[in-house]
Amino acid sequence: MAGPSKHLVQERGLVVTDPKARDILKEHKSYCTAKVVERHFSGDILGYVTPWNSHGYEITKTFGGKFTLISPVWLQIQRKGVQLYYVTGHHDIDQGWMKNVKAEFEAVRFVPRILFDSWTYRDYESLFNSEDEIEELSEALVQTAKAEEFDGFVLEVWSQLGGQKRNCLWYPPGYNWPCSLRLGFDGVLLCGLESWLSTHKHR
Asked if residues 198 and 156 have their Cβ atoms less than 8 Å apart, the reply is no
Taking CA atoms, 105 is separated from 74, 125, 145, in Å, by: 21, 41, 20
For the chain, what is the mean pLDDT? 79
Q: Which of 3-7, 56-60, 197-201 has the lowest mean pLDDT?
A: 197-201
Q: What is the mean pLDDT of residues 178-190?
A: 52
The separation between CA 54 and the C-alpha centre of its own chain, rounded to angstroms, equals: 16
- Quote the pLDDT of residue 128: 82
The architecture of the domain spanning 41-200 is: Alpha-Beta Barrel (3.20)
Q: How far apart are CA 107 and CA 82, in angstroms?
A: 38
- Quote the pLDDT of residue 196: 34
- Quote the pLDDT of residue 5: 79
Q: Which of 6-20, 128-142, 173-187 has the lowest mean pLDDT?
A: 173-187
| 21, pLDDT greater than 50 | yes
Q: Could you tell me the end-to-end alpha-carbon distance of the chain, in angstroms, rounded to an integer?
A: 52
- Quote the pLDDT of residue 178: 44
Q: What is the mean pLDDT of residues 162-189?
A: 49
**SS3 per-residue string spanning the chain:** CCCCECCCCCCCCCCCCCCCHHHHHHHCCCCEHHHCCCCCCCCCCEEEECCCCHHHHHHHHHHHHHCCEEEECCEEEEEEECCEEEEECHHHCCHHHHHHHHHHCCCCEECCEEEECCCCHHHHHHHHCCHHHHHHHHHHHHHHHHHHCCCEEEEECHHHHCCCCCHHHHCCCCCCCCCCCCCCCCCEEEECCHHHHHHHCCC
Q: What is the mean pLDDT of residues 31-35?
A: 83
- Quote the pLDDT of residue 97: 95
- Quote the pLDDT of residue 111: 92
Model pLDDT for residues 34-69, shown as the tens digit of each residue: 888 888 888 888 999 998 888 899 889 888 999 999
- Quote the pLDDT of residue 1: 52
| 158, pLDDT greater than 80 | no
Asked if residues 23 and 14 have their Cβ atoms less than 8 Å apart, the reply is yes
Tell whether omega for the bond before 178 is within 30 degrees of 0, i.e. cis. yes
Tally Cβ neighbours within 10 Å of residue 200: 10
Residues linked to residue 113 through DSSP beta bridges, in sequence order: 154
Q: How far apart are CA 120 and CA 39, in angstroms?
A: 41
Q: How far apart are CA 183 and CA 138, in angstroms?
A: 6
Residues linked to residue 59 through DSSP beta bridges, in sequence order: none
- Quote the pLDDT of residue 172: 42
- Quote the pLDDT of residue 179: 42
pLDDT-above-90 percentage for the chain: 33
| 9, pLDDT greater than 60 | yes
Q: What is the mean pLDDT of residues 154-179?
A: 53
Q: How far apart are CA 101 and CA 70, in angstroms?
A: 10
